[in-house]
Structure 1
Amino acid sequence: MARVVVDVMLKPEILDPQGKAVQGALPRLGFSGVSDVRQGKRFELEIDGDATDETLARVHEIAETLLSNPVIEDYAVHVEGGSASAKHRA
């Protein structure tokens, strides 16, 4: 069994109001030195069997059709505990 992680983030050119709200709150809470905050989503998928190229291709399909909005979001897929990693930017 493999654990595959999909991280979804807004594209850099898309405004991130939640990230800006966190960034604005940090100094009020005594945290300095943070120049930008971007908010995202993390999905962990437990996959039956090994994380083969075919399996990872299916995860990319899942990420593109269900987990992300390719118009405004990018995603990255990686196997937790493994070295396989792939990013997608639409």
Structure 2
Amino acid sequence: MRLTVLIRPKTGILDPQGEAVQRSLATLGFSVTRARVGRLVDLEVDEADPGSARDEVQRMCEKLLANPLIESFEILENLAEGS
């Protein structure tokens, strides 16, 4: 089963990359008051059951993929389905 995880800085955590994107867009004339930069991780898990696959990816995020002190994550199953 394929799943995608969206990982981004938690609210209130400094995001230098997001700030750089926001400033650059403003320089180009776009009205952007805030930009946050995160990352997507596409995973293929050896689980046929969607619930078990999601639970396994949840554990992966908690142990390695996201730093719980400064990042939040969201599991987006449908994003990788068409890939």
Asked if the contact 1:5–1:43 (Cα under 8 Å) also holds between the matched residues in 2, the reply is yes
Cα RMSD of the aligned pairs, angstroms, is 1.8
Runs of 4+ in 1 over 6 A off after TM superposition: none
Structure 1's 73 and 81: CA in aligned 2 closer, same or farther, altered over 3 A? closer
- From 53, 64, 67, give the equivalent of 1:66: 64
Runs of at least 5 residues in structure 1 that lack an aligned partner in the other structure: 83-90
| 1:69 alignment partner, SS class | coil
Counterpart position of 1:39: 37
Identity %: 36
Higher relative contact order (CA 8 A, sep 6+): 2
Letter aligned with residue 74 of structure 2: A
TM-score (norm 2): 0.84
- CA apart distance, 1:48: 3.0
| 2:31 alignment partner, SS class | coil
Between Structure 1 and Structure 2, the one with more strand by share is 1
Between Structure 1 and Structure 2, the one with more helix by share is 2
TM-score (norm 1): 0.78
